[in-house]
Structure 1
Amino acid sequence: MSKAGAKPRGILAYLRSKTVKRTILRDVHNMIQDAKKCFKGGRSDAERAVSVLDEFCEMNNGNVAEFVIDKETNVVQVITFQSARQKRLFAAFPEVVLVDSTHNSNANRYKLFSFAVHDVFGK
């Protein structure tokens, strides 16, 4: 309910109407915090990103992912990933580059990606 935007007092009113337990507002706040910890797993954003990329790589032997994490701030600096299908298509059509950036820009309207293209001469 909290993820859907319900306020703690609204959750409390719902719980009181549906259960016979005597629930106080502090109980609702504690439940919300427990749910957040369970969702996050007590891990940082970088650790969660690493686990998602590890899961992606385990889905298919051809999937690859690389990431660079700043050890001091524990912030992910660069993420690159490529599925087995993308690798196969690039091997078949190396001269084609397609970048879809129709949405997902940041507050300054910059697209949140960068790419490098190498020709047959390695430049």
Structure 2
Amino acid sequence: MTNVDDNEETARELALFAAVDPENLSSVADTDCGETGVISIASAHMRRVFARFSEVLLVDCSHKTNRYNYQLLTFVGMNEFGEGAVVHQSLIEANGDWHMERAIDHFKRFHPTRINLLQVIVVDKDLNEIRVLEANFPAARILLCHFHVIKYLKEMRSKPEFGKISSDNARKIDAAVHKMVYASSEHKYKEAHESLKGICERCGIDRFFKYFEKNWHSCTDRWVYYASYTPPLQQSHKQQIGELLWQAERRNRQFDVYGQLYQGVGSIRSEEAERLRIQVD
């Protein structure tokens, strides 16, 4: 954002956001060029949700959210009903390491007492995101969303550089991928893996299998059902998350669920406008 009017309007919106509730927080990080690189917000409601259920986090990024092509980085937690709840949002100039680092730093500042409880982070497929998240949350497990794994490998399989195959062979490859993702044991994974290898060899798309070996076979603990559960319990990602949420609910059961989790944001009070809580990096 370089336009003065846009900067003023953004500052005004952040001031109004802070005036709604003294517990609303926002933070802005500028690039070395003086442009706005990251804008992060967390409402009082978002902070309450994460304060109650801090064990699980889903991180995802939406692209081209405005005319500047900024990306919306969203951190989603889960409540005791298994429903997703946004706990942090950062509007980022680009999906680079610096921007991710600033957004995560803002997130940590917004939730200083709960970060150490985070155990599982679910992401889609961005390897840069994974690397930055691992560096900032070394105690948390980084898992890949099963839906995105299947979708992404299907898209990669259809790329022309890997060769053209019949629709029947394409379905067989997709089926083998699905079996690998949901393999309940190492034996079942190896069976599906050998099946994928055989299909690729027969179809003449060995390059796709080599790509899979290099980028996916080496990190099965992130996306394969049997390899990503926490011993000794054989649980799916959903079951693991459910158990973590139950532990969080037991820890917080003395609070009124509906009063704390669904309390709405109060009306804007102009006399609180001076309580601007924008922290400029």
Relative to the length of structure 2, the TM-score reads 0.23
Q: Indicate the structure whose relative CO is greater, using CA pairs within 8 Å and at least 6 residues apart.
A: 2
Relative to the length of structure 1, the TM-score reads 0.47
More helix by proportion, 1 or 2?
A: 2
